[in-house]
A and B are shown apart, each in its own frame.
Chain A
Amino acid sequence: MNGVPLAAYIGLGMIMFTTGVVGVIIRRNPIVIFMCIELMLNSVNLTFLTFARYQMAARSSDALGMQNSLMAGQMMVIFVMAVAAAEVAVGLGIIMAIYRLRDSVDIDELNLLRG
């Protein structure tokens, strides 16, 4: 969409990221915290793609450099998605295990790290 300035996409990414951060801090439900983390990851993905499309990383105007910068952002997004998938699988497994052990998943009760 040629008519949209870069600032709009980045602004949306920032809003989503901030929402995710706030969610992680204020929610007690670990599943919701997970969702907030996903939100943050997605906002980062959006930023990657935006910068790639807007050619911010291209040093020169030659075709190869442009193509490389276009692809680099997308590759990053693919890897982020894969890592997120693995993270969700393991993280939810951990939540299941904790629930089985303690019959509760309140994040404030998981304070074995207390000094």
Chain B
Amino acid sequence: MNYESIWLVLLFPIVGFLIQAFLGTRIEKMFGRRALGAIAVLPIALSFAVGLMITLSTKGGPEESAKIATFGNWINAANLKIPFEFIVDPLSMTMVLIITGIGALIHLYATGYMSEEKDYARFFTYMNLFIASMLVLVLGANLVLLFVGWEGVGLCSYLLIGFWYKDIANAKAANKAFIVNRIGDWGLTLGLFLIVALLMKTNGMAGDGRFLSYDSMLPALKTGLQQNPGMATAIALLLFVGAAGKSAQFPLYLWLPDAMAGPTPVSALIHAATMVTSGVVLLNRMHIVFEMSPIASAIVCGIGAFTALFAALIAFGQTDIKKVLAYSTVSQLGFMFIACGAGAYWAGMFHVTTHAFFKALLFLGAGAVIHAMGHNQDMRNYGNLRKYLPITFWTMILGTLAICAVGIPGVFGFAGFYSKEAILGGALANTHAQIQGIQVGQIAGWVGLGVAALTSIYMTRLTCLTFLGSEERWRKIPVSHEHDHEDDTHHALDGNHTPKEVSPSMWIPLVVLAILSVGGGFVLANGGAFEKWLYPNELPVLGKISTEPNNIPLALYSTIAAVGGILLGLAFYLKGLPKNQGWNEAEWSPLRRAERDQFGFDRAMTVATVEGGGDIANGLWKWFDVGIVDGIVEGAGKVSGGIGMVLKRWQSGYIRLYALMMLLGFVSFIGYFAFVIKGGH
């Protein structure tokens, strides 16, 4: 299929969105939920099919450059031209396949998961719109279209986190996600303006005016940045602020754990597999800027490593199954940024891909558990669920092994094994990310190795508490008879509860994703296929990036980290819930309590920004609004009121007086014309 049919990929989700939005409830009433679900899944699946055909027809290779399909003009201001153009290259097609492929599976899963939900049509309206926005983000061939998609996914994320908006906590979580994302957007827009300014300055008015289109921008940026090296760091850091906002890097990670308030398929799709990776996509698109600036790369690397460690530690303090996975996502995103900072951009994208497989799987599995356990999300209420949910259990085990990066070096590994290997190798083998001789990249690599071990431990903790152990802890919950069954969607979890395996529409995606989690890494990494496909040429500044450090038996170390972590976790948690992690949180160790509270960071940020900001705003309000603005407004009102009090005496209500006034005016006019104007001649 020709690359110009790329518009089809976009068209299907948009059509799906429009149908859901305007006819959704009607279709639901006339044909039932099954039909509506089919209409929701079908466009995404069709997009995937088209995307796959386009990908297969574009054989990657050094000689093949990115193709751009243009569909008319959008902004045409003086020398700046921004058309509706979509890029077809390995990077965009990788993302298209992830978004539509994983998206279709998650949509399928959601038809089952949300089947008891009232607002079925609204949910799928948002989901389809999200897919469309995400596709615009990755397919847009200039930074402005990317920004359109960027904001679109932000909006959909907001709408979906606040999907159960009647609960104030969910609405607040949605607000938090949106506001924190705005900080990132601020960085991205400033970076965008800076790029335009730089290109206007260095390139002048030359060229066809498509300053922000990748094909003309990236080469121009290279020459422009060589003339102004300082600008590279500035632009790179601003773009990184944008990427950190979307991809939940410290200190902007705050919104992601709260975003778990949304339905679980949303967590899987948006907050694990696709949207949060858009920061990595941005860095891959704009890698030339980061290549030019070792300082910015070092900062990216350092923040990535810190985020990975920080989030992994927090994950130990969480008892909510989705929260553990959320912090795990933040941690894995940190890995991706380590790779991008070190210059191994393809490794970052590789991890995006494999992470999409196994994290979507883990989230969907967690969703299945939550679904089976009457929407109770606390792991302390689970236990021995392998007996009741065999399919979920085995697929989750495979996903856990994938995220723990288990593998036998040189023979076979789960998906995460290859990508994590590439990331750590890239970080340890390169010296690009450094500040004044300090090798931040290498430090990040060692930290990453430690975090890999931590990952294994907390994922084992999750698995053990949920599926293993012989104790069925929800049996201890007393049966409550007062529960009103007015709302059927939320059954109470009590001692009589019997978890049931989920419906086929929910476990089929699990199985597919499990297969991908097991084999995906092996196939993609086979002979460096993924790297050769994504970056067929050497990087323009850094040249060849090695991911195999000399002198360090990395494969051995990481295998030890993964397997050792799992064994350590089993030793701690196989027996069931440890006493010092139970319901009585006073028995918890101080470290674990600190981890539960995100080391006080969230609270501190909330106090500083929300309350401090509130105080500042309050002061401004009192001084400026009440004092000056209200003074002016009310003063104006009082003056006109006073004038009105005087003038109203003339409004006597005597019609004849009005007529007299009219006559007076008329006579005055005639007199004026007759004597003044005519007399002037």
A touches B (Cβ under 8 A): yes
Q: Which residues of A contact B (CB under 8 A)?
A: 21, 24-26, 28, 107-108, 110-115
Q: Would you call A111 and B654 a contact (CB within 8 A)? A: yes
Flag B645-663 by CB within 8 Å of A: 1 or 0 each: 0011111111110011001
Do residues B656 and A25 form an inter-chain contact, with CB atoms below 8 A?
A: yes
B529-547 interface mask toward A, CB cutoff 8 Å, 1 = contact, 0 = none?
0000000000000000000
Verify B656–A111 contact, CB threshold 8 A.
Answer: no
Rounded to whole angstroms, the CA-CA distance of A87 and B649 in the bound complex is 31
Give Cα A114 to B650, complex, Å: 9
Question: Do A110 and B655 touch across chains, with their CB atoms under 8 A apart?
Answer: yes
A26 to B655, CA, bound (A): 11
Q: Are B656 and A108 in contact (CB under 8 A)?
A: yes
Report the minimum CB–CB distance from A83 to chain B (whole Å).
20
- Pairwise interchain contact A24-B651, C-beta atoms closer than 8 A: no
Q: A110 CA to B652 CA in the complex, in Å?
A: 11
CB–CB A114/B655 < 8 A: no
Q: Is the CB of A111 within 8 A of B652?
A: yes
Within 8 Å by CB of A115, from B649, B655, B663, lies B649
**B656 CB, min distance to chain A CBs, angstroms:** 5
Chain B, range 461-480, C-beta contacts under 8 Å to A? none
Out of B649, B653, B660, B663, name the residue touching A111 (CB < 8 Å): B653
Residue of A25, A112, A114 with highest tally of chain B CB at under 10 A? A25
Question: B interface, by DSSP: helix, strand, loop or mixed?
Answer: helix
Residues of B in contact, count (CB < 8 Å)? 13
From A25, A110, A115, contact of B659 by CB (8 A): A25
Chain B nearest Cβ from A19, distance in angstroms:
13
Q: Is B647 touching A115 in the complex (CB atoms < 8 A)?
A: yes
Asked if A114 and B652 make an inter-chain contact with CB atoms under 8 angstroms apart, the answer reads: yes
Please indicate the chain A residues that have their CB under 8 angstroms from the CB of B663 in the complex: 21, 25
How far apart are the CA atoms of A82 and B659 in the complex, in Å? Answer: 24
- With A21-B663, A25-B660, A25-B663 in contact, is A107–B655 under 8 Å at CB? yes
B46 vs chain A, min Cβ distance (A): 67
Bound: A71/B651 CA distance, A? 44
A114 is contacted by which of B647, B651, B660 (Cβ under 8 Å)? B651
Bound-state CA distance A21–B647 (Å) is 26
CB neighbours (8 Å) of A21 from chain B are: 659, 663
B interface list, Cβ under 8 A from A: 647-656, 659-660, 663
Across the two chains, which residue of chain A brings its CB closest to B653? A111
Asked if A115 contacts B656 (CB within 8 A), the reply is: no
In the bound assembly, the distance between CA atoms of A41 and B649 in angstroms comes to 32
Give the residue name and chain of the B residue nearest to A24 (CB). Answer: B659
Closest to A18 in B: B663
A contact residues around B654 at 8 Å (CB): 107-108, 111
| Minimum CB distance partner of A109 in chain B | B653
* Contact in complex: A115, B660 (CB < 8 Å): no
**Contact status A112-B659, CB under 8 Å:** no
> What B residues does A28 contact at CB under 8 A?
656
A-chain residues with CB within 8 Å of residue B647 when the two chains form the complex: 115
Q: What CA separation (Å) do A107 and B660 show in the bound complex?
A: 14
Closest to A112 in B: B653
Expressed in whole angstroms, the Cα–Cα distance for A87 and B659 within the complex equals: 18
What is the minimal beta-carbon distance from B485 to any residue of chain A, in angstroms?
62
The distance in angstroms between the C-alpha atoms of A112 and B652, with both chains bound, is 9
Residue on B with the closest CB to A114? B653
CB contacts (< 8 Å) of A26 on chain B: these are 656
Complex interface: chain B residues within 8 A of A114 (CB)? 651-653
Please name 19 pairs of A and B residues whose Cβ atoms are closer than 8 Å in the assembled complex, sorted by A: A21-B659, A21-B663, A24-B656, A24-B659, A25-B659, A25-B660, A26-B656, A107-B654, A107-B655, A107-B656, A108-B654, A108-B656, A110-B653, A111-B652, A111-B654, A113-B651, A115-B648, A115-B649, A115-B651
Nearest chain B residue, comparing its CB with the CB of A21: B663
State A25–B659 Cα separation when bound (angstroms): 6
The answer for the CA separation of A104 and B308 in the assembled complex, in Å, is: 90
- For the complex, give the distance between the alpha carbons of A90 and B655 in Å: 18
Residues of B within 8 A of A24 (CB): 656, 659
Q: A25-B656, A25-B663, A115-B647 are in contact. List 19 more A-B contacts (CB 8 A).
A: A21-B663, A24-B656, A24-B659, A25-B659, A25-B660, A107-B655, A107-B656, A110-B653, A110-B655, A111-B652, A111-B653, A113-B651, A113-B653, A114-B651, A114-B652, A114-B653, A115-B649, A115-B650, A115-B653
Chain B hits for A107, CB < 8 A = 654-656
Q: What's the least CB distance linking A17 to chain B, in Å? A: 11
